[in-house]
Structure 1
Amino acid sequence: MNVSPTAEPPVCRIMNYGKYKYAQAKKEKESKKKQKVINIKEIRMTPNIEEHDLAVKAKNASKFLEDGDRVKVVVRFRGRELGHMDAGRVVLMQFAEMTSEYSTIDKLPIVEGKNMTMFLAPKK
């Protein structure tokens, strides 16, 4: 029942609750159809990755970006690699350059513990 709080005397409308719930569900389903779900795909690598392996990962990232997903690129450092963070940044920027046809850099490379991450967003 809907009640009009400002009316004098108070007025209510009797309605079919099942029909009301059905209409609400239909509206909700219709609004979900228009939404685009954006997933975040993650690609992991090390700072001493080979050129061909990097190209393969860039190709996979390009597929994700074409589908409209964001890509999180992570370079993982282990042991002595932690002393060479600049090598990881070079790898990430090279990766961004390889996928520049399909992406723009959303977040520049940042260090979080033993990982360096960068986000790529699909071009509009």
Structure 2
Amino acid sequence: MEGCAITSAPSSDPRCNHRIRAREVRVIADDGSQVGIIPTSEALRMAQEKGLDLVEVAPNAEPPVCRIMDFGRFKYQQQKKVQEARKKATTVQLKEIKVRPKTDEHDYQTKLKHIRRFLEDGDRCKVTVFFRGREIVHKDRGQVILARVVVDLGELAKVEQEPRTEGRMMTMLLAPQVKKPIAPV
């Protein structure tokens, strides 16, 4: 009964109890059965007798549909649904790894390990080869490095964007490979 606070500011919450403006409402009881179309004052009295709130669930209907329920519990359940939806929504991030045409073998393996970890976490990865000074003359070395990354990652990644040159850098975008479930035989 105390669940519906009276505030002057309009909120996104449904109207309840004395905030319902309609003269007549279609009432649904707390057990889900339809009571019918009755005056709002009668519906409020029914809700108060049960120690519950009268909540307007369909304000645009003619007449508005109201339900007898515990408004506090209703708001709590709505908040839980929103939290569950947020929890299930995963955000895919774009990670970037930078290498140079003269990157040593050990450094390359370390960078590859980082790329592998990003892809296993479900993130996309941008591999960038930076050219400094006269290194830009040897673009083929950058393409060799990017091709080697694709070969070394094998079935773990798919190329989302082919290698392309932008100024003094060559970039390629990798996405995690979607694993298909094995069909039962």
TM-score normalised by length of structure 1: 0.80
Q: Does 1:50 align with 2:66?
A: no
Q: Does 1:60 align with 2:114?
A: yes
Residue type matched to 1:99 in 2? L
The residue that corresponds to 2:148 in the other structure is 94
Instruction: State the Cα RMSD in Å.
Output: 2.3
3-state SS in 1 of match to 2:154: coil
| Shift in Å, 1:12 | 6.4
Unmatched segments (≥5 aa) in structure 1: none
Residue type matched to 1:42 in 2? E
| Shift in Å, 1:20 | 5.1
Percent identical residues:
41
Unmatched segments (≥5 aa) in structure 2: 1-14, 16-55, 179-185
After superposition, the C-alpha distances for 1:9-47 in whole angstroms (9 at most, x for unaligned) are x53648877555433322111112222222222111111
1:32 to 71, 76, 86: 86
Distance of 2:119 and 2:60 partners within structure 1 = 52
Sort the Cα spacing of 1:12 and 1:42 in 2 relative to 1 into closer, same or farther, 3 A.
same
1:5 to 37, 60, 73: 60
Distance of 2:131 and 2:150 partners within structure 1 = 19
Residue type matched to 1:11 in 2? P
Sort the Cα spacing of 1:23 and 1:54 in 2 relative to 1 into closer, same or farther, 3 A.
same
1:78 to 128, 132, 136: 132
3-state SS in 2 of match to 1:74: strand
| Shift in Å, 1:83 | 2.1
Stretches of 4+ moved more than 6 A in 1?
14-17
Sort the Cα spacing of 1:107 and 1:12 in 2 relative to 1 into closer, same or farther, 3 A.
same
Check the 8 A contact 1:76/1:116 in 2, yes or no: yes
In our comparison, the structure showing a higher alpha carbon Rg is 2
Distance of 2:117 and 2:95 partners within structure 1 = 11
Residue type matched to 2:158 in 1? T
Instruction: Figure out how many residues of one structure are paired with residues of the other and give that number.
Output: 122
The residue that corresponds to 1:110 in the other structure is 164
TM-score normalised by length of structure 2: 0.56
